[in-house]
């Protein structure tokens, strides 16, 4: 059996010497190397920015969505959307574990896991697409995937339905980072607070900011705003277009008596919301860009252009304990669990 690198560089075809994530093509042959884990895949949870783009390209047609997804994997050996660069994650059952992993993993053949590394670096083979659940970005397939030695995962919990766990784990980095960043008394703005990651962030921000803090939900559509309002997830609700930076700034200014946010968290799935996030934040405040539609250039040059001294954090999808923190929210909050069951499971 061939020996593999912990990060999976042995699978990179183009360009040679790169890591699998930035590579344009990786080897998706399912004969495992000695340190790899083979997964029998059940469901792909496509990243929201990526799936939104694919749906648009397909004009909403399911057969075209399937074609585009298969095309991506055929070309790249992984499900990395060439437009957004992003992936998603998967659930499946462990089929084979390389001998070099003995003593390095607790996993056993037959365990059901969710991978917590992006599909944008995961070797994947799609044999058949069984069902596309367009509204929740989930796609059931027949196929296989490889988890590298360095790949993180969560064994699926018994007390939370699989599809629900999958959708929450997909965005686990956001509420966990929120838990780390928000301090008691903070004013927190969640842009895109009505979405899947946004609502988890609202919950965690409210918990951490406490009674002396203020949590503001900025959302877009009427229906989603109503849902979040009735779940009582924030202190203040603002309906605005996050791509309209001046509108966002004015509305946040009004809601905070001109003080603006200590922390702004961006959870939208559309482009051009960098400036709204920056202008919503006070000088010396912090902006956490979880959105994959964020442009580093627009954020960096934009902040400079308006003379805003804010710290900007790139939305690392991983932070320690992220799976536990996000699943715990569903155990703590009956309301959110019901809402997520209705919307995403």
Query: For binding to ligand NAP (CB under 6 A), which residues are involved?
Result: 47-49, 86, 170-171, 173, 192, 194-198, 219-221, 224, 241-243, 267-270, 290-293, 315, 317
* Beta-strand relationship, 236-239 and 214-219: parallel
Gap between the Cα atoms of 284 and 293, Å rounded? 24
- Which has the closest alpha carbon to 193: 264, 293, 88, 298? 264
- Residue 48 vs 122, nearer CB to ligand NAP: 48
Least Cβ distance, residue 267 to ligand NAP (angstroms): 5
Gap between the Cα atoms of 38 and 56, Å rounded? 32
Residue 124, both tokens: 């994947």
Taken as a whole, the chain contains a residue count of: 345
- Residue 36 vs 137, nearer CB to ligand NAP: 137
Backbone angles phi, psi at 150, to 5 degrees: -85, 0
Least Cβ distance, residue 51 to ligand NAP (angstroms): 9
If DSSP codes are grouped into helix, strand and coil, which group holds residue 41?
strand
- Residue 47 vs 235, nearer CB to ligand NAP: 47
Least Cβ distance, residue 308 to ligand NAP (angstroms): 20
Least Cβ distance, residue 32 to ligand NAP (angstroms): 26
Gap between the Cα atoms of 297 and 279, Å rounded? 16
Gap between the Cα atoms of 133 and 301, Å rounded? 38
- Residue 32 vs 323, nearer CB to ligand NAP: 323
- Residue 8 vs 198, nearer CB to ligand NAP: 198
- Enclosing H/E stretch for 82: none
- Enclosing H/E stretch for 40: strand 37-46
Gap between the Cα atoms of 161 and 223, Å rounded? 25
Residue with smallest beta-carbon separation from ligand NAP: 195
Least Cβ distance, residue 273 to ligand NAP (angstroms): 7
Least Cβ distance, residue 62 to ligand NAP (angstroms): 19
- Residue 122 vs 291, nearer CB to ligand NAP: 291
């Amino acid at each position: 059996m061939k020996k593999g690198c912990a990060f999976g560089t042995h699978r990179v075809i183009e360009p040679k010497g790169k890591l699998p994530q930035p590579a344009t093509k990786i080897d998706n042959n399912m004969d495992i190397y000695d340190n790899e884990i083979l997964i029998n895949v059940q469901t792909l949870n496509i990243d929201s920015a990526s799936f939104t783009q694919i749906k648009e390209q397909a004009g909403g047609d399911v057969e075209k969505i399937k074609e585009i997804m298969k095309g991506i994997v055929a070309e790249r050996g992984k499900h990395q959307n060439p437009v957004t660069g992003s992936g998603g994650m998967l659930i499946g059952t462990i089929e084979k574990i390389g001998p070099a992993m003995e003593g390095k993993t607790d996993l056993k053949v037959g365990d059901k896991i969710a991978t917590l590394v992006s599909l944008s670096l995961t070797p994947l083979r799609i044999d058949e697409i069984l069902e596309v659940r367009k509204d929740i970005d989930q796609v059931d397939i027949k196929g296989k995937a490889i988890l590298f030695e360095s790949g993180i995962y969560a064994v699926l919990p018994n007390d939370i339905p699989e599809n629900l766990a999958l959708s929450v784990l997909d965005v686990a980095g956001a509420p966990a980072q929120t838990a780390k960043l928000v301090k008691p008394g903070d004013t927190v703005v969640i842009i895109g607070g009505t979405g899947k990651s946004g609502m988890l962030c609202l919950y965690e921000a409210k918990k951490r900011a406490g009674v002396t803090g203020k949590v503001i939900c900025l959302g877009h559509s009427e229906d989603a705003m109503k849902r979040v309002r009735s779940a009582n997830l924030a202190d203040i609700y603002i309906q605005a277009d996050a791509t309209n930076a001046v509108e966002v700034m004015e509305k946040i200014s009004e809601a905070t008596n001109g003080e603006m946010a200590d922390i702004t968290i961006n959870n939208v799935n559309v482009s051009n919301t960098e400036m709204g996030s920056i202008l919503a934040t006070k000088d010396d405040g912090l902006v956490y860009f979880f959105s994959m539609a964020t442009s580093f250039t627009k954020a960096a040059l934009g902040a400079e252009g308006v003379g805003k001294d804010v710290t900007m954090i790139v939305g690392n999808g991983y932070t320690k304990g992220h799976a536990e923190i996000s699943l715990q929210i569903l155990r703590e909050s009956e309301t959110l669990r019901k809402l997520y069951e209705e919307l995403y499971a």
